[in-house]
Amino acid sequence: MGAIDIKGLTRSYGDFVAVSDFDLTVVAGECVAILGPNGAGKTTVVEILEGYRHRDGGEVSVLGLDPAHPNRQWRQKLGIVLQSANDLNELTVREAVEHFARYYPSPRDVDGAIELVGLTEKASTRASNLSGGQRRRLDVALGVIGRPALLFLDEPTTGFDPEARHIFWDLIDRLKHEGVTIVLTTHYLEEADALADHVVVVTRGRKVADTTPADLGSRSKNLVSVRWLEDSELKEQRTAEPTKFVRELAARFTGEIPGLEVVRTTLEEAYLELVNVSEP
Protein backbone atom coordinates (compact mmCIF):
# COMPACT_ATOMS: atom_id res chain seq x y z
CA MET A 1 0.00 0.00 0.00
CA GLY A 2 1.26 3.47 -0.90
CA ALA A 3 1.13 6.64 1.15
CA ILE A 4 -1.78 7.53 -1.15
CA ASP A 5 -3.98 5.07 -3.04
CA ILE A 6 -6.87 6.22 -5.23
CA LYS A 7 -9.10 4.01 -7.37
CA GLY A 8 -11.98 5.24 -9.50
CA LEU A 9 -12.35 8.62 -7.79
CA THR A 10 -15.27 10.70 -9.05
CA ARG A 11 -16.68 14.08 -8.02
CA SER A 12 -19.39 16.15 -9.69
CA TYR A 13 -20.97 19.54 -9.04
CA GLY A 14 -24.47 19.23 -10.44
CA ASP A 15 -24.07 18.25 -14.08
CA PHE A 16 -20.41 19.25 -14.14
CA VAL A 17 -17.99 16.34 -13.72
CA ALA A 18 -14.91 17.72 -11.94
CA VAL A 19 -13.09 14.39 -11.53
CA SER A 20 -13.80 11.21 -13.47
CA ASP A 21 -12.52 7.68 -12.75
CA PHE A 22 -9.24 8.96 -11.31
CA ASP A 23 -6.56 6.49 -10.16
CA LEU A 24 -3.29 7.33 -8.41
CA THR A 25 -0.68 5.69 -6.20
CA VAL A 26 1.97 7.74 -4.39
CA VAL A 27 4.82 5.80 -2.80
CA ALA A 28 5.91 6.85 0.69
CA GLY A 29 8.84 9.27 0.56
CA GLU A 30 8.38 10.45 -3.02
CA CYS A 31 7.33 13.80 -4.44
CA VAL A 32 4.48 13.79 -6.95
CA ALA A 33 3.57 16.89 -8.93
CA ILE A 34 -0.04 17.23 -10.07
CA LEU A 35 -0.17 19.41 -13.17
CA GLY A 36 -3.01 20.72 -15.27
CA PRO A 37 -4.69 23.89 -16.52
CA ASN A 38 -6.99 25.93 -14.29
CA GLY A 39 -10.27 24.09 -13.75
CA ALA A 40 -8.76 20.71 -14.60
CA GLY A 41 -9.73 19.13 -11.26
CA LYS A 42 -6.38 19.31 -9.43
CA THR A 43 -7.70 21.21 -6.43
CA THR A 44 -10.72 18.92 -6.09
CA VAL A 45 -8.47 15.85 -5.99
CA VAL A 46 -6.12 17.41 -3.44
CA GLU A 47 -8.93 18.66 -1.18
CA ILE A 48 -10.47 15.17 -1.16
CA LEU A 49 -7.07 13.76 -0.13
CA GLU A 50 -6.81 16.36 2.64
CA GLY A 51 -10.25 15.45 3.96
CA TYR A 52 -11.79 18.84 3.16
CA ARG A 53 -14.11 17.74 0.36
CA HIS A 54 -16.28 14.65 -0.02
CA ARG A 55 -16.23 12.38 -3.06
CA ASP A 56 -19.11 10.86 -5.00
CA GLY A 57 -17.42 7.54 -5.70
CA GLY A 58 -14.22 5.55 -5.67
CA GLU A 59 -11.82 4.34 -3.02
CA VAL A 60 -9.27 6.63 -1.33
CA SER A 61 -6.62 5.81 1.27
CA VAL A 62 -4.24 8.43 2.67
CA LEU A 63 -1.65 7.17 5.16
CA GLY A 64 -3.80 4.09 5.63
CA LEU A 65 -7.04 5.96 6.42
CA ASP A 66 -10.05 7.07 4.38
CA PRO A 67 -9.84 10.90 4.47
CA ALA A 68 -13.64 11.02 4.53
CA HIS A 69 -13.38 9.72 8.12
CA PRO A 70 -10.40 11.56 9.64
CA ASN A 71 -9.28 11.53 13.23
CA ARG A 72 -6.92 13.74 15.23
CA GLN A 73 -3.95 11.39 14.98
CA TRP A 74 -4.31 11.25 11.20
CA ARG A 75 -4.52 15.02 10.84
CA GLN A 76 -1.37 15.43 12.93
CA LYS A 77 0.51 13.49 10.24
CA LEU A 78 -0.44 16.01 7.54
CA GLY A 79 1.18 19.28 6.61
CA ILE A 80 -0.82 21.61 4.36
CA VAL A 81 0.37 24.76 2.62
CA LEU A 82 -2.63 26.44 1.01
CA GLN A 83 -2.40 28.57 -2.12
CA SER A 84 -3.10 31.71 -0.10
CA ALA A 85 -3.69 32.62 3.53
CA ASN A 86 -4.55 35.97 5.11
CA ASP A 87 -4.84 35.01 8.76
CA LEU A 88 -2.29 35.53 11.54
CA ASN A 89 -1.48 39.00 10.21
CA GLU A 90 -1.07 40.49 13.69
CA LEU A 91 1.34 37.77 14.87
CA THR A 92 5.07 37.86 14.34
CA VAL A 93 6.74 35.04 12.45
CA ARG A 94 7.94 33.43 15.68
CA GLU A 95 4.55 33.82 17.39
CA ALA A 96 2.76 32.20 14.44
CA VAL A 97 5.14 29.23 14.33
CA GLU A 98 4.98 28.83 18.12
CA HIS A 99 1.18 28.89 17.95
CA PHE A 100 1.01 26.12 15.34
CA ALA A 101 3.67 24.05 17.11
CA ARG A 102 1.28 23.61 20.05
CA TYR A 103 -1.06 21.55 17.86
CA TYR A 104 1.44 18.72 17.45
CA PRO A 105 2.84 16.13 19.87
CA SER A 106 6.45 16.31 18.61
CA PRO A 107 6.94 19.53 16.64
CA ARG A 108 10.16 20.80 15.17
CA ASP A 109 12.16 23.35 17.10
CA VAL A 110 10.51 26.71 16.40
CA ASP A 111 13.71 28.60 15.60
CA GLY A 112 14.90 25.64 13.54
CA ALA A 113 11.73 25.70 11.44
CA ILE A 114 12.09 29.46 10.93
CA GLU A 115 15.71 29.02 9.87
CA LEU A 116 14.71 26.16 7.56
CA VAL A 117 12.59 28.54 5.46
CA GLY A 118 15.07 31.42 5.60
CA LEU A 119 13.13 33.77 7.88
CA THR A 120 15.48 34.06 10.86
CA GLU A 121 16.04 37.78 10.23
CA LYS A 122 12.26 38.30 10.05
CA ALA A 123 11.37 36.29 13.16
CA SER A 124 10.13 39.40 15.01
CA THR A 125 8.27 40.85 12.03
CA ARG A 126 4.47 40.77 11.89
CA ALA A 127 3.06 38.59 9.11
CA SER A 128 1.23 41.62 7.70
CA ASN A 129 4.58 43.32 7.07
CA LEU A 130 6.16 40.44 5.16
CA SER A 131 6.57 40.50 1.39
CA GLY A 132 4.54 38.04 -0.66
CA GLY A 133 7.46 35.63 -0.98
CA GLN A 134 8.29 35.91 2.73
CA ARG A 135 4.66 35.18 3.64
CA ARG A 136 4.82 32.04 1.49
CA ARG A 137 7.94 30.98 3.41
CA LEU A 138 6.01 31.45 6.65
CA ASP A 139 3.20 29.29 5.25
CA VAL A 140 5.75 26.56 4.52
CA ALA A 141 7.17 26.82 8.06
CA LEU A 142 3.64 26.33 9.43
CA GLY A 143 3.21 23.35 7.12
CA VAL A 144 6.35 21.55 8.30
CA ILE A 145 6.41 22.49 12.00
CA GLY A 146 4.56 19.29 12.97
CA ARG A 147 7.06 16.98 11.21
CA PRO A 148 4.41 15.72 8.76
CA ALA A 149 4.62 12.33 7.11
CA LEU A 150 2.69 13.81 4.16
CA LEU A 151 3.00 17.42 2.98
CA PHE A 152 0.59 19.10 0.56
CA LEU A 153 2.03 22.13 -1.24
CA ASP A 154 -0.39 24.21 -3.34
CA GLU A 155 1.52 26.65 -5.56
CA PRO A 156 4.15 27.05 -2.80
CA THR A 157 6.56 29.39 -4.61
CA THR A 158 4.09 31.94 -5.94
CA GLY A 159 5.68 35.35 -5.39
CA PHE A 160 9.21 33.98 -4.98
CA ASP A 161 12.08 35.51 -6.91
CA PRO A 162 14.37 33.02 -8.72
CA GLU A 163 16.91 32.90 -5.86
CA ALA A 164 14.21 32.28 -3.24
CA ARG A 165 12.65 29.59 -5.45
CA HIS A 166 15.93 27.67 -5.64
CA ILE A 167 16.39 27.97 -1.85
CA PHE A 168 12.90 26.51 -1.48
CA TRP A 169 13.79 23.65 -3.83
CA ASP A 170 16.74 22.82 -1.55
CA LEU A 171 14.28 22.72 1.36
CA ILE A 172 12.04 20.24 -0.48
CA ASP A 173 15.05 18.05 -1.24
CA ARG A 174 15.91 18.09 2.46
CA LEU A 175 12.36 17.07 3.40
CA LYS A 176 12.45 14.26 0.84
CA HIS A 177 15.67 12.98 2.40
CA GLU A 178 13.84 12.99 5.76
CA GLY A 179 11.28 10.63 4.22
CA VAL A 180 8.42 13.12 3.87
CA THR A 181 5.91 12.29 1.12
CA ILE A 182 5.09 15.44 -0.87
CA VAL A 183 2.13 16.29 -3.11
CA LEU A 184 2.89 19.41 -5.13
CA THR A 185 0.65 21.46 -7.39
CA THR A 186 2.48 24.11 -9.39
CA HIS A 187 2.31 26.13 -12.59
CA TYR A 188 6.11 26.31 -12.73
CA LEU A 189 7.01 23.36 -14.95
CA GLU A 190 10.72 23.71 -14.20
CA GLU A 191 9.80 23.33 -10.53
CA ALA A 192 8.07 20.01 -11.20
CA ASP A 193 11.04 18.94 -13.31
CA ALA A 194 13.46 19.76 -10.49
CA LEU A 195 11.49 18.29 -7.57
CA ALA A 196 9.08 15.59 -8.65
CA ASP A 197 9.81 11.87 -8.74
CA HIS A 198 6.75 11.52 -10.91
CA VAL A 199 4.21 13.83 -12.47
CA VAL A 200 0.49 13.44 -13.03
CA VAL A 201 -1.22 15.53 -15.70
CA VAL A 202 -4.94 16.19 -15.27
CA THR A 203 -7.25 17.83 -17.77
CA ARG A 204 -11.06 18.02 -17.75
CA GLY A 205 -11.11 15.85 -14.63
CA ARG A 206 -9.24 12.96 -16.24
CA LYS A 207 -5.71 11.76 -15.74
CA VAL A 208 -3.89 11.85 -19.09
CA ALA A 209 -0.37 11.04 -17.86
CA ASP A 210 1.29 9.47 -14.84
CA THR A 211 5.03 8.99 -15.27
CA THR A 212 8.46 10.39 -14.43
CA PRO A 213 9.31 13.91 -15.62
CA ALA A 214 11.90 12.45 -18.00
CA ASP A 215 9.34 10.18 -19.65
CA LEU A 216 6.43 12.59 -20.00
CA GLY A 217 4.90 12.70 -23.48
CA SER A 218 7.38 13.19 -26.30
CA ARG A 219 10.24 13.11 -23.80
CA SER A 220 9.74 9.35 -23.56
CA LYS A 221 10.82 9.01 -27.19
CA ASN A 222 14.21 10.51 -26.32
CA LEU A 223 13.98 12.65 -29.44
CA VAL A 224 16.27 15.66 -29.67
CA SER A 225 15.97 18.56 -32.10
CA VAL A 226 19.15 19.41 -33.99
CA ARG A 227 18.96 22.80 -35.73
CA TRP A 228 21.43 24.47 -38.07
CA LEU A 229 21.66 26.97 -40.94
CA GLU A 230 22.24 25.71 -44.44
CA ASP A 231 21.87 27.73 -47.67
CA SER A 232 20.52 30.59 -45.52
CA GLU A 233 17.67 28.38 -44.29
CA LEU A 234 17.01 27.07 -40.80
CA LYS A 235 17.04 23.28 -40.87
CA GLU A 236 15.83 20.92 -38.15
CA GLN A 237 16.13 17.18 -37.58
CA ARG A 238 14.49 15.19 -34.76
CA THR A 239 16.63 12.25 -33.75
CA ALA A 240 17.22 9.77 -30.93
CA GLU A 241 20.96 9.79 -31.78
CA PRO A 242 22.00 13.46 -31.76
CA THR A 243 25.74 12.81 -31.39
CA LYS A 244 25.77 10.54 -34.44
CA PHE A 245 23.71 12.99 -36.46
CA VAL A 246 25.90 15.99 -35.56
CA ARG A 247 28.99 13.97 -36.54
CA GLU A 248 27.43 13.22 -39.93
CA LEU A 249 26.37 16.84 -40.30
CA ALA A 250 29.89 18.09 -39.49
CA ALA A 251 31.26 16.04 -42.37
CA ARG A 252 29.21 18.20 -44.78
CA PHE A 253 30.78 21.46 -43.59
CA THR A 254 34.27 22.83 -43.47
CA GLY A 255 34.74 24.30 -40.01
CA GLU A 256 31.89 25.08 -37.64
CA ILE A 257 28.28 24.09 -38.38
CA PRO A 258 26.43 27.41 -38.83
CA GLY A 259 23.86 28.15 -36.12
CA LEU A 260 24.11 24.70 -34.54
CA GLU A 261 21.66 24.03 -31.68
CA VAL A 262 20.89 20.76 -29.92
CA VAL A 263 17.61 21.11 -28.02
CA ARG A 264 15.94 18.50 -25.83
CA THR A 265 12.19 18.58 -25.22
CA THR A 266 11.42 20.49 -22.02
CA LEU A 267 8.86 19.34 -19.49
CA GLU A 268 6.77 22.38 -20.41
CA GLU A 269 6.72 21.41 -24.09
CA ALA A 270 5.78 17.81 -23.29
CA TYR A 271 3.07 19.01 -20.89
CA LEU A 272 1.56 21.41 -23.42
CA GLU A 273 1.50 18.67 -26.05
CA LEU A 274 -0.52 16.44 -23.69
CA VAL A 275 -2.91 19.18 -22.63
CA ASN A 276 -3.53 20.40 -26.18
CA VAL A 277 -4.17 16.88 -27.44
CA SER A 278 -6.56 16.18 -24.54
CA GLU A 279 -8.57 19.38 -24.91
CA PRO A 280 -11.46 19.38 -27.43
pLDDT at 179: 92
pLDDT at 220 over 60: no
What is the predicted pLDDT for the residue at 270? 74
Q: What is the pLDDT of residue 142?
A: 94
In angstroms, the CA 210 to CA 64 distance is: 22
Whether pLDDT at 94 is above 80:
yes
CA distance 253 to 181: 52
Buried b (16+ CB within 10 A) or exposed e, 53-67: bebeebebbbbebeb
What pTM did the predictor assign? 0.80
Task: Determine the longest span between alpha carbons in the chain, in angstroms.
Answer: 72
Q: Which of 160, 177, 176, 180 is nearest to 168 (CA)?
A: 160
Q: Is the pLDDT of residue 271 over 70?
A: yes
Identify the burial level of 200 via C-beta atoms within 10 angstroms of its C-beta, where 0-12 means exposed, 13-18 middle and 19 or more buried.
Answer: buried
Q: Is 179 helix (H, G, I), strand (E, B) or coil?
A: coil
| Contact (Cβ atoms closer than 8 angstroms) between residue 174 and residue 148 | no
Q: Half-sphere exposure (CA, 13 Å, Cβ side) for 113?
A: 26
Q: What is the pLDDT of residues 202-215, one digit of tens each?
A: 988 899 888 888 77
Q: Could you tell me which of 194, 120, 186 has the C-alpha nearest to residue 156?
A: 186
The DSSP bridge partners found for residue 51 are none
Chain centroid to Cα 149, Å, comes to 17
* Cβ proximity of 171 and 182 under 8 Å: no
Is residue 120 helix, strand or coil?
A: helix
Q: Which amino acid is at 70?
A: P
pLDDT for position 165: 84
Q: If you compute the radius of gyration of the chain from its CA atoms, what whole number of angstroms results?
A: 22
* 44 close to 20: Cβ distance less than 8 angstroms: no
Q: CA–CA separation, 181 vs 77, rounded Å?
A: 11
Query: Which region among 132-136, 140-144, 196-200 has the lowest average model confidence (pLDDT)?
Result: 132-136
Helix%, strand%, coil% for the chain, nearest 5: 35, 30, 35
Does residue 87 have a pLDDT over 80? no
Which residues lie across from 199 on neighbouring strands?
33, 211
Residue 141 CA to residue 117 CA, distance in Å, equals 6
- Of 13-22, 84-93, 212-221, 227-236, the poorest mean pLDDT is in 212-221
